[in-house]
Amino acid sequence: MINQYSINAINKIKQDATLIKPLYGSYCFSNITTFFHNLFNNNVLTKMPHDVLGDLHNKYDNIIFFYIDGLGWNIFEKYIHHFDFFKKFHQKGVISKITSMFPSNTAPHIISCHTGLTSSESGIYEYIQYEPSVDKLISPLFFSTVDDTSRDGLLKYGIKPEDIIPNNSFYNKLRGDGINSYIFINYELNKSIINNTLYSGTSKIIPYGTFAEGCTLLLEEFKSNKKTSYYYFYVGTLDEVGHRNGPESNAYLSELNSLQYILNDLLDNLIRFNQYNSLLAVSTDHGMCHINPNEVYYINEIIPEIHNYLLNSVNGMPILPAGSTRDVFLYIKKEYLHEAKSILEAKFLGIANIVLVKDLIDDGWFGEKVTSEFNSRIADIAIIPNPGNIVWWNNPDHMIVNEYGHHGGNSDIEMEIPFLLMNI
């Protein structure tokens, strides 16, 4: 069934035909972890409305959660009656529409699903962001500076994972309630030292190579386990294919078809095993826009003098933009803040919205609570491109724009995501 309450709630908060503000107080990705915890222990409070359960149970002994990176509502809705795996949720489960957090990027969502925190609580708001303790732009999930291609490069600066990543593990909370937790993660993504902080308290980490291998390992673990347990399974290939080829490409559709085929087979096996009182959940972090990378608007080409307004690092060099092509964050000298905003507004009229980050914070775009860690890392001006546009900084040593799939902004394509639940 479709949860019409969730769809109505999101329709009410659309600021125009396409723009979405996160529903942190209800239907939002940030509430998934507390919702799962509540289904194990009904005394745990959650902001996720229980109508996402429909007629399903309100307490479970096992929960399996598939986090499929890069599966927007617009794509899901298009194939809901085409793919067998999606059809089963429509026939036997509950399909809700929820919102991404803002920015609609993977980094804050990865942190959230392991901690339950919004970006304004965790201090992690983007794939690329400024870190004052090293006076550089960093990639938090790689625990490295952006000019370092290796993982865990921040160790050489004397920085520990808990200095960057919040030590607020969801799995420690589950363990406190006597609930086991199992994490299924690709081998390559299991190499970073930040996992020691993110996964603290988990019962077992199970790396996998191919998606089929991971699902087989999950089924084996599920069949042999007799204790109340939570299973987290991250899938990154759809997002990767979407970035390279675009979400409207045949390659993206082929990857989605492959994933759902394997998931459908797994679901059939889980149902045949008939483990009592178990829930299968599926969601994602964001949708994705299909945009030609040759049509990027480069800030420093449109406004050559803009570097004079950028905040400088200790070495005297300007701090380059954080964020991504759909949500650009500029660190601006205080004395030039309003002048820079006026220039950007004039040059990017009809291309992007130029917003003071303080206004976004005050309006709750990053979350309801704001920590000192977030305030120390966040930028001063946000450039949020209109739907169909991408904006970045032209510098061969910065992130190169050569992909067709983009996200991070607040359009409905990026912000509306599915949340699927079904008894197994």
Nearest to 140 by CA among 377, 389, 410: 377
Q: What confidence score (pLDDT) does residue 157 get?
A: 93
Token pair 């420690």: residue: 172
Q: pLDDT digit string (tens) for 317-336?
A: 999 999 999 999 999 999 99
CA dist., res. 187 & res. 350, Å (int):
43
CA dist., res. 387 & res. 138, Å (int):
27
- State the average pLDDT over residues 86-106: 97
Q: What confidence score (pLDDT) does residue 19 get?
A: 83
Give the residue, 240 or 150, on which the prediction is more confident.
240
Q: What confidence score (pLDDT) does residue 226 get?
A: 87
Q: Which of 223-227, 251-255, 394-398 has the highest mean pLDDT?
A: 251-255
Helix (H) or strand (E) run with residue 223 in it: helix 211-224
Nearest to 122 by CA among 113, 137, 132, 111: 111
pLDDT at 186 over 70: yes
Backbone torsions φ then ψ of 100, nearest 5 degrees: -70, 170
Per-residue pLDDT band at 14 (split at 50, 70, 90): confident
- State the average pLDDT over residues 207-231: 96
CA dist., res. 357 & res. 394, Å (int):
22
Nearest to 13 by CA among 103, 97, 122, 76: 97
CA dist., res. 267 & res. 128, Å (int):
36
- Mean pLDDT rounded to a whole number for the chain: 95
- Pairing relation of β-strands 352-356 and 381-385? antiparallel
pLDDT at 412 over 70: yes
Q: Token digits for 137?
A: 């732009």
State which amino acid sits at residue 165.
I
DSSP letter, residue 281: E
- State the average pLDDT over residues 61-68: 97
DSSP letter, residue 172: H
Q: What confidence score (pLDDT) does residue 15 get?
A: 63
CA dist., res. 319 & res. 314, Å (int):
10
- State the average pLDDT over residues 101-117: 97
Q: What confidence score (pLDDT) does residue 340 get?
A: 97
Tell me the whole-structure pTM to 2 decimals.
0.96
Nearest to 74 by CA among 415, 421, 422: 415
Per-residue pLDDT band at 252 (split at 50, 70, 90): very high
pLDDT at 217 over 80: yes
Domains, the chain: 4-125+150-289+412-423 (3.40.720.10), 293-406 (3.30.1360)
- State the average pLDDT over residues 94-114: 97
pLDDT at 301 over 90: yes
| Cβ contact 259:215 at 8 Å | no
